[in-house]
């Protein structure tokens, strides 16, 4: 028996198992609350007003987003404390200024140039965070470059309306660890580096700065987070195969699947063609032996979906097509007109692509 939600699905559609998503939300919230840390979840993962309300019901009041557009969307939905966790984009200064009049807005800078531009092109009070690179090497001032960090702090201090709120980092290198214990080591090292900067800035007169960190492997695998101010994981509400590979979750904890119609079968190759391609799932993949996998496959069930199928994977993606390779034993269970669930490699990208097509299983 399939859950009745599947009856109305005609095209690739996100299916969320709400009870599992709520468990995932609660687990991390318990961990932060018990340490006195503010949980500020990253909403880029779901980008959904409805899912945002689940967080609200759980007691969340502050959120993270990755673009001005997302910030504007959630501000319209009543969220009043929002950090845009992306380097300040000077071309959006006017819209940032307008939004900062309505909500408590956090903006990231990582150079004196950006800090000056922000100061000169806005008038609203804005909470500014200095973005620190604690080892991931994507964005931010490298943590031991105290001179550059202090220079940015000084520019912000000179501004009549900007406030230096704190130091913010994303230890994204927790995504490429070989073992869960490394996640904890990276988190401890990141935190120690931010504390070191905090101490130096404190000697310069910048006291009471906050520290903000956050990523899903740390949220999931580190029992004792330590002492800091704000935590910003996002993916953990849904999880995905990438997180399962890191060890952040079990397959059962993945709360999001993509329901895809079966449109053709090729017995001679044990291949099943689904309506579900790169424009629905993204092209993120995981290595799988000699080849790659774009997702695992399950069948719909009464409470969501089955365990993923053995010897079966989403092997290839075109713009709209997905090609599943399966075993000769399982092949007959796929029927044209039926649905499969794809357990995604990267749930954030799939949710971004399919935001307009969501079904919830309570």
Spell 232-264 as b/e; 16+ CB within 10 A means b: bbbbbbbbbbbbbebebbeeebbbbbbbbbbee
- Compare residues 22 and 95 and give the one whose CB is closer to its own copies: 95
- Compare residues 70 and 225 and give the one whose CB is closer to its own copies: 70
Smallest distance, Å, CB 282 to its own copies? 6
Smallest distance, Å, CB 269 to its own copies? 7
DSSP state, residue 294: S
φ, ψ dihedrals at 288, nearest 5°: -145, 90
Of the candidates 117, 142, 144, the one whose C-alpha atom is nearest the C-alpha of residue 128 is 117
Question: In which region does residue 47 sit, left (phi positive, over 0), alpha (psi from -120 to 50) or beta (all else)?
Answer: left
Burial class (CB in 10 A: 0-12, 13-18, 19+), 200: middle
Smallest distance, Å, CB 260 to its own copies? 10
Smallest distance, Å, CB 173 to its own copies? 13
Which residues are near its own copies by CB under 8 A?
9-11, 44, 66-69, 86-92, 95, 110-111, 113-114, 117, 137-139, 142, 172, 261, 263-265, 268-269, 273, 275, 278-279, 282-284, 316, 318-321, 323, 336-337, 348-349, 352-353
Q: Which residue has the tokens 């913010």?
A: 168
- Compare residues 89 and 154 and give the one whose CB is closer to its own copies: 89
Strands 81-87, 104-109: pairing kind: parallel
Smallest distance, Å, CB 335 to its own copies? 9
Smallest distance, Å, CB 139 to its own copies? 5
Burial class (CB in 10 A: 0-12, 13-18, 19+), 344: buried
- Compare residues 50 and 69 and give the one whose CB is closer to its own copies: 69
- Compare residues 58 and 263 and give the one whose CB is closer to its own copies: 263
Smallest distance, Å, CB 275 to its own copies? 5
Of the candidates 277, 329, 298, the one whose C-alpha atom is nearest the C-alpha of residue 2 is 298
- Compare residues 208 and 290 and give the one whose CB is closer to its own copies: 290
- Compare residues 150 and 188 and give the one whose CB is closer to its own copies: 150
């Amino acid at each position: 028996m399939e859950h009745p939600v599947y009856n109305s699905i005609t095209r690739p559609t996100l299916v969320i198992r709400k009870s599992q998503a709520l468990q995932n939300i609660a687990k991390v919230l318990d961990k932060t609350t018990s340490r006195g840390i503010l949980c500020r979840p990253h909403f880029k993962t779901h980008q959904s007003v409805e899912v945002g309300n689940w967080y609200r019901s759980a007691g969340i009041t502050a959120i993270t987003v990755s673009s001005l557009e997302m910030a504007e969307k959630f501000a319209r939905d009543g969220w009043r404390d929002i950090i845009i966790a992306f380097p300040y984009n000077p071309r959006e200064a006017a819209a940032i200024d307008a939004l900062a009049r309505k909500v408590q807005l956090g903006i990231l800078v990582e150079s004196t140039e950006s800090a000056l531009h922000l100061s000169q092109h806005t008038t609203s009070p804005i909470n500014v965070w200095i973005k620190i690179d604690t080892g991931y090497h994507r964005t931010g001032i490298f943590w031991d470059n105290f001179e550059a960090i202090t220079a940015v702090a000084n520019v912000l201090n000179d501004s009549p309306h900007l406030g230096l709120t704190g130091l913010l980092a994303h230890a994204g290198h927790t995504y490429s660890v070989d073992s869960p214990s490394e996640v904890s080591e990276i988190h401890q090292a990141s935190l120690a580096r931010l504390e070191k900067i905090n101490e130096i800035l404190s000697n310069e007169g910048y006291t009471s700065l906050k520290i903000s960190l956050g990523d899903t492997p740390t949220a999931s695998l580190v029992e004792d987070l330590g002492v800091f101010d704000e935590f910003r994981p996002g993916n953990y509400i849904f999880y995905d195969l990438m997180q399962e590979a890191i060890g952040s979750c079990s397959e059962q904890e993945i709360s999001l699947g993509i329901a895809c119609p079966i449109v053709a079968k090729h017995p001679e190759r044990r291949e099943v063609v689904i309506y579900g391609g790169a424009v629905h799932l993204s092209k993120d993949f995981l290595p799988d032996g000699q080849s790659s996998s774009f997702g695992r496959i399950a069948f719909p069930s009464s409470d969501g979906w089955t365990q993923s199928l053995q010897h079966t994977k989403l092997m290839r993606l075109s713009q709209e097509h997905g090609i599943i390779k399966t075993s000769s034993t399982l092949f007959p269970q796929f029927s044209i007109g039926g649905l499969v669930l794809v357990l995604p490699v990267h749930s954030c990208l799939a949710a971004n692509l399919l935001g307009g097509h969501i079904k919830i299983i309570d």
